[in-house]
Amino acid sequence: MSGRSLTGLSPWGRRLVAAGCLVWCLITVFPLYWVVVTAFKTPPGVVGGPTYLPFIDFTPTLQPFIDLVQGIRGEFFRTFLNSTIVGISAAAIATAIGAMAAYALVRFEFKVRFGAGLIFFLLALGGYLLFNNTLGFTRPQALLLAFPIALVAAIVANRLSLPGPILGNEDILFWFVSQRMFPPIVTAFALYLLYSEIGRLGFQLIDSYVGLTLCYVAFSLPIVVWLMRDFFEAVPIEVEEAAMVDNVPSWRIFLGIVVPMSMNGLLATFMITLAFVWNEFLFALFLTNSRWQTLPILVAGQNSQRGDEWWATSAAALVAIVPMMIMAGLLSRMMRSGLLLGAIK
Amino acid sequence: MMRNDPIKHVFIWPAVLVVLAISIFPLIYSFTTSFLSYRLIPPIPPRVVWFGNYLSLLQEPRFWNAIFTTTLIAFIAVGLQYTIGFGVALALNARVPGERLFRVALLLPMLLAPVAVALVARMIFNPTMGPLNQLLAKFGLVNLPFLTNGHWALACIIAVEVWQWTPFVVLMMLAGLQTLPEDVYEAAELENASAWQQFWGITFPMLLPISAAVVFIRLIESYKIMDTVFVMTGGGPGVDTETLTLFAYQEGFKKFNLGYTSALSFLFLIAITIIGVTYLALLRPHLEKRR
């Protein structure tokens, strides 16, 4: 710890800095306070101008929440349930398979030939165009045919001694993380097209649990792999080596030793992923319409339908926010134990 | 130590397959669509136009406006986030009084749904019933058109971005500050270096790699901004606050102009890549000098 940057300051300087922090803290907290008090106001309490203190400025009421639960402003309960189900399952699946991939990248050696990757891409694109344009398959059929062929060809090509650079673990990691750099609109819109065409073949993915969860798993994987890699690197290698001497298979080393030892990291990663999925707006906007609508879409809808009913708007916003406030409390406790130190290396 | 065990494939393939299926599938799909003229409403059968979509986009003033708006929001917001965030991190690291209370409030904004944050912002910026205007009225300013005037609306969106994402900068910079070696500061103190000199001479250069990463992440993320704008202004008044993602959404979901939207999203991808590569290239000499 180097707590030195302020030691050179005079007492007055220190006070000034502390005041600055306090101001920023107030700016951070005030909007949250505002949404909490507004959610308990009656319509007259809002329209009459800003009021700040319950029981003094205005009489608090639970009416906005009662309206919300009764579903007067959209199917609130169901939407909340949707968000919870999709959020928890997507975060759990993403954490599980992302952690596996991160572990593999930390402990095993991978070699991918650049040529093999190129072959995959060219075959996938070319095969798709061939099946779709020349042979007259529908677009999803063409994709579903072209991809396995490209994948198998790439795996075979990887065994041959192709010229060109060989990519290692770091490059694979970069490939994972770079998925986050994409503007999501590229994926979201294309996913909408793909899902709707697959839907025409009889397998509904738009506005379905599978479609939405799958999309969120893929969307969260880069973060999971990035975070979990650091946690696994922190696990002492000696324990694993001792187990290997005893001929314990790798999957049992992973499940029996590594996972329990990095439980904190897994939990934190799960919570961060859950927060991302819970708040996600764009994919939900594209991929759902009624049955599997999530909370952010409902909250955004409060705005356009009922312009100035702030008490209702606040109540909805509050319900969307509260689970994440609890999460922030839990995470900030974990943060103190140097949790996020690893993530920036 | 690296092992080599066939089971490694079992570990890595599920994740690779999901990413291939959900990210690369659609990418190829929309890449081919971007060369088609293809509309759902009114239905026009797909027709190959090669670079037609791209060319008409590049001639579209609304597209350039969206690029300009997004760039403006991203650069100003990230600049402010970095400045405020670094300052707060320094103060917290120096054990400013009340540091504990502050740490709890620290994580909150970045975990909240941007949609909900934008709704709250709408209330606070409301000209007649919002608390902000009441506060300003005390200083003699009355009813500023926060969300109905183009410039003000842009400023409000930037303010909300700064509010929500400065904590991220604080968090990362704080973690970085805690890795700095103590002895360098002790040496500097022996030479009577002032706090300011210590900051410019030691702290700032040593944190340059982390700063670069933080700014990079925030810049890329800011370019994707959509939820906040969607709820706060819907891109209005007119198209004054329309960002790239919102423009794509309007074209894709209001007009169902599929080829055009695909081309737009690819131009967006190219723009992000150019910004990213330029940024890294500009920064590289500075980072390597310090090593």
Average pLDDT over residues B162-181: 88
Q: Are A153 and A195 in contact (CB under 8 A)?
A: no
**How far apart are the C-alpha atoms of A183 and A180, rounded to whole Å?**
8
Give pLDDT, residue A7.
55
Q: Please identify which residue in the block is written with the tokens 């690291």.
A: B93
**pLDDT-based confidence at A343, cuts 50/70/90?**
very low
Residue B8: phi and psi, rounded to 5, are -55, -30
Q: Looking at residue B43, what is its pLDDT? A: 76
Q: Which pLDDT score is estimated for B66?
A: 93
- The distance of B91 to chain A (nearest Cα, Å) reads 7
- In this model, does residue A325 exceed pLDDT 70? yes
Residue B63: the pLDDT is 92
The two three-digit tokens of residue A123, written as one number: 């075959």
Name the least confident of A57-66, A207-216, A229-238.
A57-66
- Across chain A, where does the E strand assignment appear? 112-113, 166-167
- Identify the weakest region by mean pLDDT among A54-58, A100-104, A158-162: A54-58
Percent of chain B whose predicted confidence (pLDDT) is above 90: 23
> Strand B44-48 to strand B36-39: parallel, antiparallel, or no bridges (unpaired)?
antiparallel
Q: Do B119 and A317 touch (CB under 8 A)?
A: yes
Over residues B120-149, the pLDDT tens digits come to 888 888 877 778 877 877 787 777 777 878
Q: Is B11 on the interface with A (CB under 8 A)?
A: yes
CA distance A142 to A133: 9
Of A58 and A223, more confident: A223
Chain A interface includes B195 (CB < 8 A): yes
Distances, alpha carbon A213 to alpha carbons A94, A125, A175, A297, in Å: 10, 26, 22, 16
Within a 13 Å sphere around the CA of B59, how many CA atoms are in the beta-carbon half? 5
> In this complex, do A310 and B109 lie within 8 Å of one another by their Cβ atoms?
no
Cross-chain Cβ contact A179/B23 below 8 Å:
yes
**In angstroms, rounded to a whole number, what is the distance separating the alpha carbons of residues A105 and A101?**
6
The residue-averaged pLDDT of A249-268 equals: 88
Region A76-93: mean pLDDT is 92
Mean pLDDT, chain B, integer = 85
- Is B225 a residue whose pLDDT tops 50? yes
Q: How confident is the model at residue B159 (pLDDT cuts 50, 70, 90)?
A: very high
B231 pLDDT more than 80: yes
Residue A54 pairs in a beta bridge with A58
Instruction: Give tens-digit pLDDT for B190-217.
Output: 888 877 888 888 888 888 888 988 998 8
Identify all chain A residues contacting B18, using CB atoms and an 8 Å cutoff.
97, 214, 217-218, 221
pLDDT at A337 over 70: no
Q: What is the DSSP letter of B94?
A: T
Are A1 and B182 in contact (CB < 8 Å)? Answer: yes
Cα separation, B66 vs B75, in Å, equals: 14
Tens digit of each residue's pLDDT (9 = 90 or more) over B73-82: 999 999 999 9
CB contact at 8 A, A230 and A345: yes
pLDDT at A53: 72
CA-atom Rg of chain A in angstroms = 26
Cβ neighbours of B194 in A, within 8 Å: 8
Residue B100 token pair:
């504990």
The pLDDT score that the predictor gives to residue A213 is: 94
Q: Decide: A114 and A164 in contact? Cβ < 8 Å.
A: yes
How many angstroms separate the CA atoms of B184 and A321, rounded? 43
How far away is chain B from the Cα of A164, in angstroms, using its nearest Cα?
A: 22
Which residue type occupies B247? F
Residue burial A108-135, b: 16+ Cβ < 10 Å; e: rest: bebebbebbbebbeebbbebbeebbeee
| CB burial readout B8-25, b (16+ within 10 A) else e | beebbebbbebbbbbbbb
Closest Cα in chain B, distance from residue A222 (Å):
9
- The pLDDT of residue A274 is 93
Name the closest residue on chain B to residue A286, using Cα atoms: B253
> Which of A143, A313, A344 minimises the CB distance to B25?
A143
Please check the confidence at residue A56 and state whether its pLDDT lies above 80: no
Q: ∠ CA(B169), CA(B74), CA(A222), 5° rounding?
A: 60
Does position B246 have pLDDT exceeding 70, yes or no?
yes
- Interface check for B97 against chain A (CB to CB < 8 A): the answer is yes
What's the whole-number average pLDDT of chain A? 83
Task: Kindly report, residue by residue over A91-131, the tens digit of the pLDDT.
Answer: 999 999 999 999 999 988 888 888 888 888 889 888 888 88
Residue A312 has pLDDT above 50, yes or no: yes
Chains A, B: CB contacts within 8 A come to 338
pLDDT in tens, A23-35: 888 888 888 888 8
Burial class (CB in 10 A: 0-12, 13-18, 19+), A225: buried
Q: What is the pLDDT of residue A344?
A: 41
The CA distance from B217 to B169, in Å, is 10
Contact A282 B101 (CB under 8 A): no
Q: Token pair for residue B133? A: 């205007």
Per-residue pLDDT tens for B59-117?
Answer: 989 999 999 999 999 999 999 999 999 998 888 887 776 666 677 677 788 888 899 89
User: pLDDT band at B180, cuts 50/70/90?
Assistant: confident
Name the closest residue on chain B to residue A305, using Cα atoms. Answer: B231
Degrees to nearest 5, angle at CA B2 with B1 and B8: 150
Averaged pLDDT, A53-70: 74
Query: Helix, strand or coil for residue B207?
Result: coil
Does B29 contact A190 at a Cβ distance shorter than 8 Å?
A: yes
Q: Judge whether residue A306 has pLDDT over 90.
A: no
DSSP code for A344:
G
Residue B142 DSSP label: -
Q: How many CB atoms lie within 10 A of CB A92?
A: 15
CB atoms A317 and B106 under 8 Å = no
DSSP-derived secondary structure letter, B44: E
The verdict on A178 touching B (C-beta cutoff 8 Å) is no
- Report how far apart the first and last C-alpha atoms of chain B are (Å, whole number): 26
Taking CB atoms and an 8 Å limit, are A151 and B20 in contact across chains?
yes
Query: For residues A2 and B182, is the Cβ–Cβ distance under 8 A?
Result: yes
Indicate yes or no: CB of B203 within 8 angstroms of CB of A187.
no
Nearest to B14 by CA among A273, A103, A50: A103
pLDDT at A140: 78
Cβ–Cβ contact B16 with A under 8 A: yes
Beta-ladder partners of A58: A54
Residues of B in contact with A97 (CB under 8 A): 14-15, 18
Partners of A204 in the beta sheet? none
Query: What pLDDT shows up at residue B187?
Result: 85
**DSSP letters along B150-163, please?**
HHHHHHHHHHHHHH
Residue A1 pLDDT level (bands cut at 50, 70, 90): very low
CB atoms within 10 A of CB A38: 27
What's this model's pTM, rounded to 2 decimal places?
0.87
Which residue out of A38, A58, A181 would a mutagenesis test of the B interface target, given it has the greatest number of B Cβ atoms within 10 Å? A181
B150 C-beta neighbours (distance < 10 Å), count: 17
Which of A124, A314, A344 lies nearest to residue B28, judging by beta carbons?
A: A124
What pLDDT does residue B194 have?
A: 79
